[in-house]
Amino acid sequence: MTSIERTAYPRFTRAPSIKELRDLYTPTPTDVAFVATKARGSAQKFALMILRQPSISAWITFPIPTPSLGR
């Protein structure tokens, strides 16, 4: 089995510095513009911004639809 250091999963330190937190969780201007055009209310904007974070999106996988077999 491959060690965790050699995988694509992000690793979080026990006590990240302020700079690490700011770099990881501050949305880019591109993220802000995308969320502003795609979501309407503040709750929807917040949820979409959370899903756009690299630390979250690295863990989320969506199933690939397969064509139905004879249905």
Q: How many CB atoms lie within 10 A of CB 35?
A: 19
Per-residue model confidence as pLDDT tens digits over 28-50:
899 899 999 999 999 999 998 88
Instruction: Give the predicted TM-score (pTM) of the model.
Output: 0.56
Whole-number Cα distances in Å, 47 to 24, 28, 31, 42: 17, 16, 12, 9
pLDDT of residue 66: 67
Per-residue model confidence as pLDDT tens digits over 1-36:
666 566 666 666 678 889 888 887 888 899 899 999
Q: How far apart are CA 42 and CA 62, in angstroms?
A: 25
pLDDT of residue 44: 94
45 near 36, Cβ under 8 Å?
yes
* Residues composing the chain: 71
pLDDT reading at 53 higher than 70: yes
